[in-house]
Structure 1
C-alpha cells in the first residue's frame, strides 16, 4: 500500500510505534488493535490554580482531541520514509476528523487519546479539495465523546481556541479571536483553492493540523489546516466540514461543484481597464474546454499593463449567482462550496460588453486530482 487513497476501507494498521515493522506492506486485513495507556493529564493534584473560562473549555474538549501518528511517509524530494504527525477530533461514535494533508503521503496511522490509549484506524475517506479526511477508529475510551459542530457561521472578533499537538506537544491550547471569514486559500501546485476558510490569530503551528478550532462553548467552528505566518492561522469552516464529512463516512469521497473558469476579483485596476462603473464582481480570465462554463461565459481576450501588473480585458464579469451578489472571488468560492452541488443548474448574471446578461448553466464535479 503506497499511500492513502479514497478507496473505501484502505487499511491503516499498527497500534503503536513499536508495531510498525510488523505491518510493513499491510496486505492482509488485521484484527482490531488498541493498547491501553496512561497520561499525566489524568493525575489529580490538590494544588491546581483556578484557571479561566478557557480552562473550562479545555477540560470539556481535550479528551475528544487525538494525536495522529502517520507512518511510512515518503519525502517527495528524497524518497526517504519517515513519520508524520498531526491532530484530529472525535466526530461521532467511531470516526475521527483530521486533515487530508496529514495522512495523504503515509501508509498507516495510529491515534493516541489524552488518557494515553492508542488505537489503530481505517481510512473512511479523504477529500483533497477541502483538506479533510476521516479515520474510522477501532477504540474509543469510555470518557471520550464526539464534539459538536457549530450551526451558526462565525463572526470576526469571536473568541476561539485552537487545541491540538503542535510540534508533537500533546494536549496544547492557544487562544485568540476569529480574524477573518470567507477566505480562499490558493493551492498553486494543485490548481484549486480551499473555500470558506476561517482566519484566526490563535497560535497555529505544525502538528495543529486537523485539530479543532472551538468557540467558548467548546463547539467546533473549524478544522485547523495551516498557519500562514505570525498571528495568522487558518481552518476549514464547520459549514463546509458538515457537508463533506458525512459523505466521506458514507461513500469515502465528496464531489465539489466545478464551474470551469479562471477568474480574478474586479479591483480598481480591472474596473478602469474594462470601463466598468464599479470595482465589484469577478472577471473571467479563462474557460476550460468542456466545462460547465464552456459556451456560456467568455474569457478575457487580451491583457494590458497597469502599474506593473498584467490586467485582463474583455472577459465576462460575474455579478450574481442565483440572485446572490458575488463581490469577489471569495464570495464565489463560498457560494459554490456551501450552496450548490454538481448537477445543479444555476442562474449566472454577468456583464458582457457593457450589457447585463443572464444565462443558466449546469455545474460539473471537480475532475480527479
Structure 2
C-alpha cells in the first residue's frame, strides 16, 4: 500500500474533511490546515543562530535527502487516481533508496532535492519483504553526496535524527533515541512481518517514509517506515538495507531465505503442554507442502481445550549453534546470516528428545 492510501485514511479519520485535488496520503492536503515551507531555503541573513551538533548533522545530510512524488496512484477504496509523496536518500552516484510502499503503486516518480531541483526517475526494483525500493535519478545536484549506511548495530538509548518530508513539509528533522531493536513489524495487509526493525521515539509521520534515520555521525542506521502511533516510529535497519539494496541495483530484486513453516513463540502454556525442559524457542505449527521444511520438520496439532495450544510439533531452540529464543530471533538470523540455498543445522525437541535436522533453505515466494 502506498503511503498516500495510508495517509488518506488517517487524515480523514483525524480531520473529517475532503482531500482536494490529490490523495491525502503523503500528498499535501489542500485544506485550511495546509502547511508548506522549506526549512533549508537559503535566505541571506546576518543574524543566524549558532545551532548545535544536530544542526551540523542536518547540514551534512540534507542535500542528499529527497522528496519523492508519485503519480498515478489509484485508491483501492474509491478508484480515485491521485498522487502520493514520501522521502528518499541518495545511496550512490545515481540511485535513491525509498520504501516499497511509497512507490510500488505509482505510474511515474519524480524527485525534488532540497535545493529545489526536480528530476524524473526510473524504478530499478522493489522488495516487498523489506519494504525497500531503489530509484535511478536522471539528475543529481553537485551538492548531494551518497549517505553511508552505518556498520555498527544500533543500541537502545542511542541518539538518532529522522530527516524527511512529513505531510509535505520539506527538509524536516526530528530528534529522538533508539527505543528498541530486533523488532518485527507487520506489513499493512498483515500477511507478513518485516524483520530486524528499529524502533524510535523520533517523531515520524506520513511523508517521512523512505527517508533516513541517522546517527550523530550522519550515517544511516535505518530507512524510515513511518509511524506506528504516538512516540513510536520504525525503520528498516541498515544491516537489512545493506543486503537488499545492492541486489536490487544489480538484478532488480532480492531473494529472501525461506523455511516454509508457520510458528509460534514458546510461552508457559506451550512449554507445559509439550513437557518442554524450559520455556524458550519456537514451535512449528505448520509445514508448507513442497517447501524447504517439508519432510524435514514436523508440525504440531492444535489442542482446542480452552485456548488453542500447539502440541507435538518440533520446537526449534538453536540454528547453527545460535540460540533462537523467539520468532524475532529466527527471523533476524535467517535474514541477516543466511541466503537461499544455504543448509542450516536445526537443534530441536521432538517427542521429548533433542535432535538435529539439516534443512536447505528455499526462496520466499513473490507476492507480485
TM-score if structure 2 supplies the norm length? 0.87
CA distance in 1 between counterparts of 2:291 and 2:46 reads 65
Name 2:357's counterpart in structure 1: 359
Name 2:115's counterpart in structure 1: 115
Contact preservation (8 Å) 1:39, 1:114: no
Name 1:321's counterpart in structure 2: 319
Contact preservation (8 Å) 1:157, 1:179: yes
The Cα shift of 1:304 comes to 4.0
Deviations 1:319-355 (A, max 9, x none): 1111111011000000010000001111111111111
Counterparts in 2 of 1:261 and 1:45: CA distance versus 1, 3 Å: same
Counterparts in 2 of 1:149 and 1:251: CA distance versus 1, 3 Å: same
Residue 74 (structure 1) aligned with residue 74 (structure 2): yes
The Cα shift of 1:157 comes to 0.7
CA distance in 1 between counterparts of 2:227 and 2:86 reads 13
Contact preservation (8 Å) 2:39, 2:171: no
Name 2:347's counterpart in structure 1: 349
Name 2:149's counterpart in structure 1: 149
Deviations 1:7-27 (A, max 9, x none): xxxxxxxxxxxxxxxxxxxxx
Residue 312 (structure 1) aligned with residue 310 (structure 2): yes
The Cα shift of 1:196 comes to 0.5
TM-score if structure 1 supplies the norm length? 0.87
The Cα shift of 1:178 comes to 0.4
Residue 138 (structure 1) aligned with residue 131 (structure 2): no
Deviations 1:225-255 (A, max 9, x none): 1311111111000000000000100110000
Residue 160 (structure 1) aligned with residue 148 (structure 2): no
The Cα shift of 1:368 comes to 1.4
Name 2:202's counterpart in structure 1: 202
Unmatched tracts of structure 2, length 5 or more: 3-37
The Cα shift of 1:43 comes to 2.4
The Cα shift of 1:40 comes to 5.9
Between 93-102 and 267-276, the greater mean CA deviation after superposition: 267-276
Contact preservation (8 Å) 2:302, 2:308: no
Q: Secondary structure, in 3 states, of the residue corresponding to 1:42?
A: coil
Contact preservation (8 Å) 1:322, 1:348: yes
Contact preservation (8 Å) 1:163, 1:208: yes
Q: Secondary structure, in 3 states, of the residue corresponding to 2:58?
A: helix
Between 167-176 and 297-306, the greater mean CA deviation after superposition: 297-306
CA distance in 1 between counterparts of 2:151 and 2:99 reads 21
Contact preservation (8 Å) 2:315, 2:349: yes
Between 65-74 and 179-188, the greater mean CA deviation after superposition: 179-188
CA distance in 2 between counterparts of 1:115 and 1:180 reads 34
CA distance in 2 between counterparts of 1:83 and 1:324 reads 46
The Cα shift of 1:209 comes to 0.2
Contact preservation (8 Å) 1:350, 1:358: yes
Unmatched tracts of structure 1, length 5 or more: 4-37
Structure 2 counterparts to residues 239-254 of structure 1, below 5 A:
239-254=239-254
CA distance in 2 between counterparts of 1:353 and 1:146 reads 54
Contact preservation (8 Å) 1:150, 1:219: yes
Residue 294 (structure 1) aligned with residue 298 (structure 2): no
Contact preservation (8 Å) 1:303, 1:311: yes
CA distance in 1 between counterparts of 2:350 and 2:284 reads 11
CA distance in 1 between counterparts of 2:220 and 2:255 reads 23
The Cα shift of 1:277 comes to 2.2
Paired residues, what number? 331
Contact preservation (8 Å) 2:54, 2:216: yes
Contact preservation (8 Å) 1:164, 1:172: yes
The Cα shift of 1:191 comes to 2.4
Name 2:275's counterpart in structure 1: 275
What's the C-alpha RMSD, in Å, of the aligned pairs? 1.5
Contact preservation (8 Å) 1:304, 1:313: no
Contact preservation (8 Å) 1:71, 1:84: yes
